[in-house]
């Protein structure tokens, strides 16, 4: 909590806390290098288990199949929910994929 103020009010004491807090320090990471094209590449479609993201990604996969037949897509679900990191999925993508799309749907 950032600051605390205490003040006497008649017969009692009121304590007011400021809930603002302090944001965590972050270190910016550079963007991944852009691919020259997608032909012959493997694109992972990652479902983070957010509301309806899987439905969207399966539709996107069908669109890739129809319009970009030389691109291989792999639909995968994160092993947990979107609020938790999934190092195993990221390692699989690094080892076997060329790109990834992480879907968030509504």
Q: Which residue matches tokens 């852009």?
A: 34
* Interatomic CA distance for residues 100 and 72, integer angstroms: 11
Asked whether residue 53 is domain-assigned, the answer is: yes
- pLDDT, tens digit, 9 for 90 and up, residues 81-90: 888 889 999 9
For residue 43, count other CB atoms closer than 10 A to its CB.
21
- pLDDT, tens digit, 9 for 90 and up, residues 47-87: 999 888 899 999 999 999 999 999 999 999 998 888 888 99
Which domain does 53 fall in, by range?
Answer: 42-102
Q: Hey, what are 92's tokens?
A: 């699989």
Q: Hey, what are 8's tokens?
A: 């006497």
Asked whether residue 31 is domain-assigned, the answer is: no
Asked whether residue 86 is domain-assigned, the answer is: yes
Asked whether residue 74 is domain-assigned, the answer is: yes
Asked whether residue 76 is domain-assigned, the answer is: yes
Domain tally, the chain: 1
Is 49 within 8 Å of 82 (Cβ atoms)?
yes
- pLDDT, tens digit, 9 for 90 and up, residues 8-37: 656 678 888 888 888 889 999 998 889 999
């Amino acid at each position: 909590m950032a600051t605390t103020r205490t003040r006497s009010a008649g017969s009692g004491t009121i304590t007011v806390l400021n809930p603002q807090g302090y944001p965590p320090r972050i270190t910016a990471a550079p963007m991944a290098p852009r691919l020259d094209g997608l032909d012959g590449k493997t694109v992972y479609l990652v479902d983070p288990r957010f509301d309806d993201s899987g439905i969207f990604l399966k539709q996107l996969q069908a669109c890739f199949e129809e319009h970009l037949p030389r691109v291989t897509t792999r639909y995968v679900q994160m092993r947990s929910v979107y609020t938790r990191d999934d190092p195993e999925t990221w390692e699989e993508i690094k080892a076997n994929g060329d790109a990834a799309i992480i879907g968030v749907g509504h």
